[in-house]
Structure 1
Amino acid sequence: MVPLDGGRRGGNGLGYATYTVAGAGLVESDASLQAALGQVFGVGGIILLPVLLWQWPGGLDTAAGSVPVVYLIAVPTVIAYLLFAAGLRHLPPATVATLMLLEPVVAAMR
């Protein structure tokens, strides 16, 4: 039986696990939270840049398209991942990743 998502879910989980372990390693090496997240997201952005260029959604080069993107980057993403990195400072990566799985449940309850 083929999963509805075409079998891509394993790649998503592997990417998230890699991000979590890499972030924990950077945080444990006494890097600041901002530096650790900057490194992880910077590498991730470079890896995904060809996908963005290949699947260009259009509109991102206009003010109307870029303002929501900047907001989504600056407010919910930065704040959430700073809290995520702070959790990595105090808990093992497996515990943090498991706790993060509750986020969709909390969002669905709203």
Structure 2
Amino acid sequence: MLAAALGIAGSAVLCATKMHDAPSETLPTVAGVILGLVAGATYAMYSWSAHRLMNRGVGRAAAMGAVFGLGGIALMPVLLTTGAPLIASAHPMMVGIYMALVPMFLGYLLFGYGLTRVTPSTATTLTLAEPAIAALLAVEIVGERLPAIGWAGLAGICASLVILSLAPATQARTPEPSRSSELPIGQEV
């Protein structure tokens, strides 16, 4: 709980660093934060669903494929209405293929492997490293400037990850068989 609270607070502070810009930037920043919260909620639901399927005996690949397949079907209307630039020329198409195969397919293949080893809450909290790494890359590669409050947000995320990595309850629990399944048919508890 402490790791999740620190991670969420650190992420919120990191988002708030953008709020010091011109007032015209406030509405897009707030909209971005709201969309980020929606994405986070769906990501948590995805992690929980995949982990639950795996705990019920569904294979890792089948569980991940089912969850992604349903998500892909849900996104088809978005693709149909906004996807024309993706296939307009070879360069955007190649970028799309790369994004689908390397960060998405490989990343979620590894994430699915991780879900067999840790709880969904731990796996989801670990993904807080993503905005921290993105902020660091923006500073180093793109040359963006991060104010002191942004560095404080990064410190909160890092503290969250340290606490999570040191916590003893990071292993996924395998469900114990129920006592009723061990009793002969017709015998009550």
Please report the TM-score for the alignment, with normalisation by the length of structure 1: 0.81
Q: 1:62 Cα shift?
A: 4.1
| Alignment correspondent of 1:41 | 68
How far apart, in 1, do the equivalents of 2:68 and 2:75 lie? 10
Q: 1:61 Cα shift?
A: 5.4
Count of matched residue positions in the alignment of Structure 1 and Structure 2:
110
- Unaligned runs of 5+ residues in structure 2 are 1-26, 138-189
Structure with more contact order per residue of length (Cα contacts < 8 Å, sep ≥ 6): 2
Distance verdict in 2 for CA 1:4–1:57, change over 3 Å: farther
| Alignment correspondent of 2:79 | 52
Q: Does 1:70 align with 2:97?
A: yes
Comparing 62-71 with 15-24, which one deviates more in the overlay? 62-71
- Unaligned runs of 5+ residues in structure 1 are none
| Alignment correspondent of 1:16 | 43
| Alignment correspondent of 2:133 | 106
Please report the TM-score for the alignment, with normalisation by the length of structure 2: 0.51
1:62-97 CA deviation, whole Å, 9 max, x = no partner? 433322211111112111111111111111111110
- Higher Cα Rg, which structure: 2
Q: 1:60 Cα shift?
A: 1.6
Whether contact under 8 Å (2:47, 2:120) holds in the other structure is: yes
Comparing 81-90 with 24-33, which one deviates more in the overlay? 24-33
Whether contact under 8 Å (2:115, 2:123) holds in the other structure is: yes
1:10-61 CA deviation, whole Å, 9 max, x = no partner? 4222211111111111222333332222111110010011112122342425
How far apart, in 2, do the equivalents of 1:61 and 1:36 lie? 33
Q: Does 1:86 align with 2:91?
A: no
Distance verdict in 2 for CA 1:89–1:57, change over 3 Å: same
Q: Does 1:5 align with 2:31?
A: yes
Supply the RMSD in Å over aligned alpha carbons.
2.4
Runs of 4+ in 1 over 4 A off after TM superposition: none
Question: Where does 1:24-39 land on structure 2 (aligned, <5 Å)?
Answer: 24-39=51-66
Q: What percentage of aligned pairs have identical amino acids?
A: 36
